[in-house]
Amino acid sequence: MASLTTIPSSPYWIARMRVWIVSPEYPAGGFWRLTMRSTRLPHKTTPKRAAKAVADEMERTGREARNPEAIDEHWAQRRLDSLLRLANVANPRKKTSWHKAVEGWLAAKSSKPRSLEKYRNDVAHFARWLGVRAGHDLRGITADDIADFRQSLADSGLAESTVVYIIKAVRSVLRRAVLLRQIDSNVAELVSLQRTGGTSRKAFTKDEIAAILAAAESEWRTACLFGLYYGMRIGDATRRRYEEIENGVLRFLPEKKSRKGVVVSVPLVGELSTLRGKGKITPVLAKLSVSVASRHFSDLLDRAGITRTKTKKKGQGRGMTDKTFHSFRHTINSLMCDAGVDQRVRQLVCDHDSTKVSNNYTHASIQTMAEAIRRSVPTLERKEPSSADTDPSPRKRVR
């Protein structure tokens, strides 16, 4: 252990300790040497016991540094925390556990109770996977931990979309921790959220749209037109009110953005421009939950003869269908793209926040892409020679 002394030329306690000197000439790769280091603690005002604790910590740091494999960011942070504590210096970076980070993250959210419960359940998966580490310093979580956690969720049989939502929740917790300077970087951002399997949503064809509208009853027809014209989700399409219409413009608050209070304004066109009345526009459908309404719409697709591809998930994952009411959002984006509508207008109609999201809902037809290529690229094919070019008969020279 280290010992203390004082020297006339220094006002600080001096630690006498052994340090490891690296030297390849020695069989052990180095040797111990007795040295004296200042503790930077004034001997006139600092008790000897406190200075002795700092000196011991300095020697311990030097002894552990002999093994390069044990040195990493967390080791350095532990040694720094110990020295700051012994020197009665406030640590600028307080330790935060996963449990505390989650509590702060949930408390900062202004979501509905049902949404908060879902978020709590999502991040609880990671807490169970961490085990006792969920109570340790948040800086101990690595990108490999997130990747292994995602793989464990997939191995447990959860649907791929569910796994993505859980990882997104973990990302959000760590993103807030970065802003609060509880950690240096969000290691969850290094894990890709690209989905590798499952059935992607498809748009309805024009023939399928005609079949759906023909098979739809009065209220379902109105709801389908809301979905087709404006890409409304099934909950928004079935719960609109006449009072939201003013001068041919429908202004409503989408359920997905109710927390943000973002009001969407769209012009009523076609059959919807004749809507007049009071109360709910589709009162019977408005009483149904989203899940029940989705099942009723699935029955409507069966009556319309719409062929769909279903993928049965294993384990706890539910089956996926490539054509649902949500396909209307893909349909209107694709139709407007084929019609040459500017992407900014498409984003306004479907209330997409970014170009990236809008692109995911756009499925340009082969004909549209072919026409775009013809308009954009000049004709470079070699022309066939005309009969005039191959005529061997001599021509008179015109003066």
Give all domains of the chain, ordered by start, each with its CATH number: 3-86 (no CATH), 98-190 (1.10.150.130), 206-372 (1.10.443.10)
**Residue 21 near residue 54, CB atoms below 8 Å:** no
Q: What is the pLDDT of residue 280?
A: 94
Q: What is the pLDDT of residue 398?
A: 47
**Residue 251 near residue 265, CB atoms below 8 Å:** yes
Q: Could you give the C-alpha distances from 70 to 30, 61, 64, 139, in angstroms and in order?
A: 17, 11, 8, 17
Distance CA 214, CA 221 (A): 8
Specify burial of residue 158 (Cβ count, 10 A radius: 0-12, 13-18, 19+).
buried
3-state secondary structure the chain: CCEEECCCCCCEEEEEEEEEEECCCCCCCEEEEEEEEEEEEECCCCCHHHHHHHHHHHHHHHHHCCCHHHCCHHHHHHHHHHHHHHCCCCCCCCCCCHHHHHHHHHHHCCCCHHHHHHHHHHHHHHHHHHHHHHHCCHHHCCHHHHHHHHHHHHHCCCCHHHHHHHHHHHHHHHHHHHHCCCCCCCHHHHCCCCCCCCCCCCCCCHHHHHHHHHHCCHHHHHHHHHHHHHCCCHHHHCCCEHHHEECCEEEECCHHHCCCCCCEEEECCHHHHHCCCCCECCHHHHCCCHHHHHHHHHHHHHHCCCCCCEECCCCCCCCEECCCCCHHHHHHHHHHHHCCCCHHHHHHHHCCCCHHHHHHCCCCCHHHHHHHHHHHCCCCCCCCCCHHHHCCCCCCCCC
Distance CA 17, CA 140 (A): 31
Q: What is the pLDDT of residue 363?
A: 63
342, two tokens: 């500017």
Distance CA 396, CA 325 (A): 74
Low-confidence ranges of the chain (pLDDT < 70): 65-81, 83-94, 194-199, 258-260, 311-319, 352-399
Contacts of 83 (CB under 8 A, 6+ apart): 54, 57, 58, 61
Which pTM was predicted?
0.55
Q: Which amino acid is at 348?
A: L
